[in-house]
Structure 1
Amino acid sequence: MEKLKPVKHAPVLIAGAGPVGLTLSALLSRCGVQNVIFEKNAELSQHPQAHFINCRTMEIFRHAYSPNLMRRITEIVPDQSCWRHFIYATSVLNGTEIGRVDNFPSSSTSRNTAAPPLAAHQVLDRHSPAKVIHLSQSRLMPLLFDEVLAEAGDTTRSRGGKGGHVVRFGHEVKDVREVVEGVQLLVEEKETCDMHVFQGHYVVAADGSSSVIRHKAQISMLGERGVQHLMNIHFSSRALAQATSHRPAMLYFIYNAEVVCVLVAHHYPSGEFVAQVPYFPPAQSPEDFGPVTVRALLDAAIGTAFTDLTVHSVRPWIMDCQVAQRYRSGRIFLAGDAAHRFPPAGGFGMNTGIQDAHNLSWKIASVLQNSANGALLDTYETERRPVAERNASLSMHNFSRSLRVPQALGLNVEQAKDAARISSRISNAMSKALLPYMFAVGRWPLKSLENVRHPYGEMCLAKARKILRDGASLPLLFPTDDIGFRYRPEFPRAQNAEESIHHGLGLDHLQVGGRLPHIWLQCLHPDTGESLGNISSTDLADQLQAAFLSSGIFDFTRSRPFAILLSSSAEEKITLSASQTVLKGWNMPLIGVKIIMRPEVSSHSSTTTFGEFGQEDQQALFRHLIKKGGCLTLNDIEGNWEQRIHSQASSILVRPDGHIQALLPSDKDLDIDF
């Protein structure tokens, strides 16, 4: 019998303990905002799910979590040699290799003469201190979970235990309602069937594509539903991992007469894979994929049968391309898959969600901790929704690109859908009997790929290989949409993936709403002038916040986001007090940072981030900060700031999330209306 428990209070209530909910919690806790996460499952998800983490998300991880997270990620992330390729073949082991794509080539493979000479990964290396990685969500989340508890000081909760203050597993959100004093969640504790009422200032729905909160808030999804239907087959085989060691890949695109699928190599050491097999309703359904069928499909995709192969789960997945009509309803916000659903081509789903959390967290903290104008929260939708729309458009274009190779091999997805629709109009028994033959006929052209010197097969292989050779198939990296997005209405939708890959030339430019460009700057000891390590300009806002919080020198910075004023004017001296606040709109502390050029100082210091400095070095820097009236001085060790940034603005006002709020010709006039 349900028992209604007394109302419990927390400023921010989060539904969903996925990467988005966990990152939002960590960012809020870092700003001193108490929060609670409700997760309906009894433990963290064990399904691999998303696996590609882009540069901007890795930068956010540097900001949201302690340096310990980056160290732990580095320890478990696979070597790039294991996942740099996409391989196209008739089977993983014994079939014809149609071709392969190296996503980290020495130069661009684009035939577009307007493209820069750099490959996409080289563009990212130049413009970010972080690296993209291939790490399954199921292996990432325990690391994020540990950091969330550490950040919030919650020692009462293990990943599978009971109780806990920050993350409450086995607690399912049933309803949401706004009240005069805030917003309430009705939450069921599944083990006891007790019903709890939690009340907060704000609720964030990070509860996935089938969000209960989004449904209760009556927010509709706009876009295309059912782009494709897939069966995700999660399995493991160490023997398969060992057998593919001579040609490892992140993705294997498999085309043969028995099966068409994509095989994702999630983790070679444990032999963890996921096969994504399309199916075609209404003639086909998940019930058609029983144990015998699944095993036959896997054996056909691999090219042989492995006795150690274990199937862990078989689950359907509907590929949608949709964005929520609204991101906010009163005190309720949507984030992650609750706000947008993309085809996986390009890996934008989880990354876009984590960036949602990064944008929203400092705004909530500013309203709660800085008494900022509540209108600041309206900018979450106006800034993040256009980015999601652009990513949705690009993901659909990428999905179309992924069909170019199978089309060259003689496959036609639309014909398969037509066959499924036709078969559904006849009797069920006859449909079940005919459909396998209809699909077999559709895959028949693939038989020719295995026959040496078959004229049709040779023609299809030549067409497919040209697509791969010309860089016209599915790419992995998208510099413009990874780190080049900006929070302004004029940021256009991506017209195609080619634009996103190779339009990296503008990443040096200062643009209001854009992320502060990456430049390595050197921190000098205030007394000796010795290098204390380097810091990326993109890390300044969050790493300085973390360092201030840990130093204990300035109490006002505790639990409060702050902005940064960067100046490189040789004629002017920043005399800002570290306690000075920007009063219009944000009511936010402002920290001054002076960029100087001291070429006599060695530029060969390590790229240790500010947050990784030892306590003694931090104290020295902050003593220097106090002496200089709140100004931290950084050395432009390679002259890149002078060459690439200073010519565009004398001073730059940077938001807590590292995006540019204003470009100022002088640091004297700070009367800025936000």
Structure 2
Amino acid sequence: MHDVIITGGGSVGLSAAVFLAHHGVRALVVERRPGPQIHPRATGLGMRTAELLREVGLEEAVNEVAVNMTGMTLGKITVDTLAGADLAALATTVPTRAQTVAKMDYTPARIRGTCPQNRLDAVLLDKARDLGVTVRYGAEVVSVEQDGEGVTTQLSDGTTLRARYLVAADGARSKVRSELGIGLSGPGALGPSMNNILFRADLSGLTGEYTFGLCEITDPAAPGMIITIDGKSEWVFHTGQEPSAELIRTAIGDPGLEVEILSVLAWRGRAQVADRLSLGRVFLVGDAAHAVPPTGAFGLNTGVADAHNLAWKLAWVLSGRAAPGLLDTYHDERRPVAVLAMEQSLLRMRDLRLHFDGGPDAPRLRAEAGAVNAPIVHLGYRYGATIGELPSTEDVALTLDGSPGSRLPHVWVGERSTLDLVGSTFCVFAAAPVTGLDVPVHVVDGWPYGTLLVRPDGFVAWRGEEGLAEALRRCTSGA
């Protein structure tokens, strides 16, 4: 019997495998496709995802495959055609990436630019295999049954697998979720079907020294969005039009441009959250748990955080360090975060300024619309609290104040962050020594947040001066 089977070998499934292996649990990953997905999908990695990659030693590897946007990066631009745009003039209206990143003093992690999902998957797959994870391609889940001891899964190739727990990362149309009869809440399908066209073309003569993440094309003959894949010769054109090289030439504004279409992925946006993120010994992560529209880049990042939240809990229960009741907290903690991500993405779909406007009026616009600043969605949320209970919906540093349920505040201790010091286990942070505990205690000079008990995922479990040992017992017992 396997300890854990993961159905779905995309970014979230592979992340779950890496996080589990990091905690000493080698999962079996089963993926229905014949091999890794080569078509890039999501490209934006949030700072919380960067922190999680840093925890498992992948920050540098991901930076190596991410697009280098440390120079003149324009973020999102809107033009008639790319050829007709004055990128130099546009650059004067937006801060450089270095200026933007410099303000992120709430995190130690850094990703130098966008990272297409197929590149992220390659890094995760290599890491998973290095950690002893088996990834099996070409087999789809047909049925799932569970009992008091484990989960039995039938695959399309006739194989029967048995595991103590099953993690479903099998996408928005999750077979596992359907087998379990778990319902969905939310608007569902959004708008018409779209085409995601991966193409190759040398645009260096048009972009020069500048890079962008997204380039919205408003030419009525070829409306859509050009998305940077490598910043040089590979791009995606996202459009509702029929795919053709001529359409791409029109959008770019160069009728003589050599264009090679590499692949086309048809898709339709969805907004829905599973009514339950767990049932018995089965857990939903990523798109199986929540389909989030792409505006804001909240979907993939929320899914990776799902996997991280679940991995340490499974590892502690499997090793006997915690009671099974600890696993009940996965649904309780992650579903509100998924709902937040979906709602915030929908707000941004209706008004792109809520996400891309970095001007002085942006906080007011978000407040009027009920939107919160993107870093709050990525890592400023607090387990057990609503957005309205946070100190700020704009300044993420104010929300990371050491309160229980929030991510541990980042403080440099020499060359290491407090997040690095967590070490993927329970530990204590304090301004003075604490004795009598069987967990690491980190004493930080000038620590202003009180005595904190921190979970293996870097979230504050408890704050106070008395009752620390009892708090630790409750946290691991699942009570």
Q: Specify the code of the residue in structure 2 equivalent to 1:400.
A: R
Alignment of 1:183-332 (within 5 A): 183-189=151-157, 195-269=158-232, 271-278=233-240, 289=242, 294-332=244-282
Q: 1:100 to 1:87 in 2, by over 3 A?
A: farther
CA contact 2:217–2:225 (8 Å) conserved in 1:
yes
Bigger Cα Rg? 1
In structure 2, distance between residues paired with 1:95 and 1:180: 62
Letter in 2 for 1:657: D
Distance 1:275 1:102 in 2: 25
| Superposed displacement of residue 98, structure 1 | 13
Residue 85 in structure 1 maps to residue 75 in structure 2: yes
Match of 1:513 in 2: 405
Q: Does 2:123 match 1:143?
A: yes
Q: CA deviation at 1:57?
A: 0.3
1:481 aligns with 2:377: yes
**1:440-519 pair list within 5 angstroms:** 471=362, 478-492=374-388, 500=393, 502-519=394-411
Shift of 1:142: 0.8
Name the CA distance, whole Å, in 1 between partners of 2:116 and 2:51: 18
In the TM superposition, what whole-angstrom CA distance separates every residue of 1:132-175 from its partner, at most 9, and x where no partner exists? 430101111111111111112x6xxxxxxxxxxx1001111111
482 and 362 in structure 1: CA distance in 2 versus 1, 3 angstrom threshold: same
Taking a change above 3 Å as real, the CA distance of residues 392 and 213 of structure 1, as seen in their structure-2 partners, is same
Paired residue type of 1:309: V
Corresponding residue of 1:338 = 288
CA contact (8 A) 1:206 1:335 kept: yes
Match of 1:433 in 2: none
Give the deviation of 1:103 after TM superposition: 9.7
Offset, 1:302: 0.8
CA distance in 2, matches of 1:148, 1:130: 21
Q: Give the distance between the partners of 1:539 and 1:311, measured in 2 at CA.
A: 43
Task: Call closer, same or farther: CA 1:476–1:171 in 2, change over 3 Å.
Answer: farther
Tell me if 1:127 matches 2:90: no
| Secondary structure in 2 matching 1:38 | strand
* Closer, same or farther: CA 403–60 of 1 in aligned 2, 3 Å: closer
**How many matched pairs?**
464
Q: Quick check: 1:592 aligned with 2:441?
A: yes
* Identical residues among aligned pairs (%): 28
How do 1:38-49 residues align onto structure 2 when only pairs under 5 Å count?
38-49=30-41
Is the Cα contact below 8 Å between 2:32 and 2:137 reproduced in 1?
A: yes
- How far did residue 120 of structure 1 move? 6.4
1:376-422 residue CA offsets vs partner (Å, 9 max, x unmatched): 111101100001111111101111112899xxxxxxxxxxxxxxxxx
Deviation at 1:515, TM superposition (A): 0.4
Scaled by the length of structure 2, the TM-score of the pair is 0.89
Task: Indicate if the aligned counterparts of 1:540 and 1:658 stay in contact, CA closer than 8 A.
Answer: no
Name the structure 1 match of 2:45: 53
TM-score normalised by the chain length of structure 1: 0.64
Q: Which residue of 1 aligns with 2:470?
A: 671
Which segments of 5 or more consecutive residues in structure 1 lack a partner in the other structure?
Answer: 1-8, 108-118, 155-165, 190-194, 280-288, 406-464, 523-533, 546-561, 581-589, 598-641
Taking the aligned partners of 1:130 and 1:467, their CA distance within structure 2 comes to: 22
SS of alignment partner, residue 126 of structure 1: coil
Query: 1:28 touches 1:365 (CA, 8 Å); kept in 2?
Result: yes
- Show the counterpart of 1:70: 59
Aligned CA distance change for structure 1 residues 404 and 567 (closer, same or farther; 3 Å): closer
Q: What is the CA distance between 1:516 and its match in structure 2?
A: 0.3
Q: CA RMSD in A?
A: 3.0
CA contact (8 A) 2:201 2:257 kept: no
In structure 2, the residue matched to 1:16 is 8
**CA distance in structure 2 between the aligned counterparts of 1:319 and 1:73, rounded to whole angstroms:** 27
Shift of 1:178: 0.8
* Cα gap change, 1:396 to 1:488, in 2 (>3 Å): same
Partner AA of 1:229 in structure 2: P
Please tell me the residue identity of whatever aligns with 1:58: A
Are positions 1:576 and 2:436 aligned together?
A: yes
**Gap runs ≥5 in structure 2:** none
CA drift of 1:211 comes to 0.8
**For residue 527 of structure 1, what is the aligned residue in structure 2?**
none
Is 1:656 paired with 2:456?
yes
Task: Report deviation, 1:16.
Answer: 0.7
State the shift of 1:372 in Å: 1.5
